[in-house]
């Protein structure tokens, strides 16, 4: 059977960093995110007796299968469906990979939804989220719609994401500023393993519970200023963990730092915008919808910014009719 899914990437406002179970990808803390309308992965999966071997094609290029994360994920799907049929996976991203835009979130969410359907499984959103999480942690948040919480469970069954509010709930925008399309040197998966080498991780985890409560309150009240301040503080705390890990992880480039300084300046001048940054150099600029064009125009003029992508809150992963092959 053949199936195709489209899945969005998501931006975490409170972030997942460090795991309490590396294999199952159970995070050390809960997280909150928003799905992004214009950072998308499309994936077609087909299981067929006529295939002699598995194959994975990413952005037009055939991938090596040794240690391939997509094939490892297909194995999980095969196990659930009790099949051993060979697979063909064709996947495309409409945005740069490995630069801090969470392509693994959209990638594994799309692969999960298309793969499960192609294998004949009929899974609930919760089951899809649990399955996606095992491919890439943040992918579990790209399954439900809109504004999402990844519940801090201690078992695989209780560690999944749920929708807090639909996409229409709040018209905030994430203007992504792409500063470089070079891939980061240390992946998130490797980085998570280093989290415990930072002296500050324990403190971060202790504060996280309160931050989760606060971010949910600000979301509920639609208190954009308090929300933005907290989102920015959280991103800086995450980067404090990165730079104090052993070996240290320094993801911000001069261009990224330039943007962080400018965001503060633009705010002082009356443009209400806040930044957040993941494991990478690209900067997410969070603002109200009415300011999105202005923020994108300002960001595009900053030396070193290669392009900007305006994202609205979006639905999670979904099946579509049109296949890639």
| Residues contributing to the site for ligand DP6 (CB under 6 A) | 12, 15-17, 25, 31, 102, 104, 136-138, 188-189, 192, 278-279
CB of 31 to ligand DP6, least distance (A): 5
CB of 69 to ligand DP6, least distance (A): 8
Peptide bond into 140 cis (omega under 30): no
User: What span, in angstroms and rounded, lies between the C-alpha atoms of 311 and 173?
Assistant: 6
Task: Please tell me the total number of residues recorded for the chain in this structure.
Answer: 325
CB of 192 to ligand DP6, least distance (A): 5
**12 contacts 36 by C-beta, under 8 angstroms:** no
CB of 10 to ligand DP6, least distance (A): 7
**272 contacts 292 by C-beta, under 8 angstroms:** no
Number of neighbouring beta carbons within 10 Å of residue 199: 11
**141 contacts 31 by C-beta, under 8 angstroms:** yes
The residue (of 191 and 228) whose beta carbon lies closer to ligand DP6 is 191
SS3 of the chain: helix, strand, coil, percent, to 5: 40, 25, 35
The residue (of 41 and 138) whose beta carbon lies closer to ligand DP6 is 138
The residue (of 12 and 56) whose beta carbon lies closer to ligand DP6 is 12
The residue (of 25 and 117) whose beta carbon lies closer to ligand DP6 is 25
Structure tokens at 206: 């202790």
The residue (of 72 and 217) whose beta carbon lies closer to ligand DP6 is 72
CB of 166 to ligand DP6, least distance (A): 21
Parallel, antiparallel, or unpaired: how do β-strands 55-58 and 87-93 relate? parallel
- C-alpha count within 13 angstroms, C-beta hemisphere, residue 207: 12
Structure tokens at 305: 């910014």
The residue (of 286 and 291) whose beta carbon lies closer to ligand DP6 is 286
- C-alpha count within 13 angstroms, C-beta hemisphere, residue 17: 31
Could you give phi then psi for residue 44, rounded to 5 degrees? -110, 130
The residue (of 42 and 99) whose beta carbon lies closer to ligand DP6 is 99
CB of 134 to ligand DP6, least distance (A): 9
CB of 86 to ligand DP6, least distance (A): 25
The residue (of 15 and 117) whose beta carbon lies closer to ligand DP6 is 15
Report the run of H or E that residue 115 belongs to, with start and end.
helix 103-118
Number of neighbouring beta carbons within 10 Å of residue 51: 13
CB of 172 to ligand DP6, least distance (A): 17
> Does residue 165 sit in helix, strand or coil?
strand
């Amino acid at each position: 059977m053949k199936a195709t899914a489209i899945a969005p990437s998501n931006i975490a406002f409170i972030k997942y960093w460090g795991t309490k179970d590396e294999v199952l990808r159970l995070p050390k803390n809960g997280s909150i995110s928003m799905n992004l309308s214009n950072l998308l992965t499309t994936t077609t999966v087909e299981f067929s007796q006529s295939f002699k071997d598995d194959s994975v094609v990413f952005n037009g290029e055939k991938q090596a299968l040794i240690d391939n994360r997509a094939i490892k994920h297909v194995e999980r799907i095969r196990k659930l469906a009790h099949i051993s049929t060979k697979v063909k996976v064709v996947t495309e991203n409409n945005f740069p990979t490995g630069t801090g835009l969470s392509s693994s979130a959209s990638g594994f969410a799309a692969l999960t939804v298309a793969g499960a359907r192609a294998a004949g499984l009929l899974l609930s959103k919760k089951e899809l989220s649990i399955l996606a999480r095992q491919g890439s942690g943040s992918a579990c948040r790209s399954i439900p719609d809109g504004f999402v919480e990844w519940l801090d469970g201690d078992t695989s069954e209780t560690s999944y994401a749920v929708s807090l509010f639909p996409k229409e709930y709040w018209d905030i925008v994430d203007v992504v500023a792409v500063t470089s399309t070079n891939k980061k040197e240390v992946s998130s998966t490797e980085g998570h393993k280093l989290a415990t080498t930072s002296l500050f991780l324990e403190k971060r985890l202790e504060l996280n519970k309160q931050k989760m409560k606060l971010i949910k309150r600000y979301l509920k009240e639609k208190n954009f200023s308090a929300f933005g301040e907290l989102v920015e503080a959280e991103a800086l705390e995450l980067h404090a963990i990165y730079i104090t890990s052993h070996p240290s992880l320094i993801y911000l480039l001069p261009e990224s730092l330039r943007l962080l300084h400018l965001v503060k300046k633009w705010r002082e001048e009356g443009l209400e915008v806040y930044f957040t940054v993941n494991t990478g150099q690209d900067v997410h600029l969070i603002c109200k919808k009415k300011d999105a064009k202005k923020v994108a125009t300002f960001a595009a003029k900053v030396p070193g910014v290669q392009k900007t992508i305006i994202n609205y809150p979006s639905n999670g992963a979904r099946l579509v009719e049109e296949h890639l092959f």
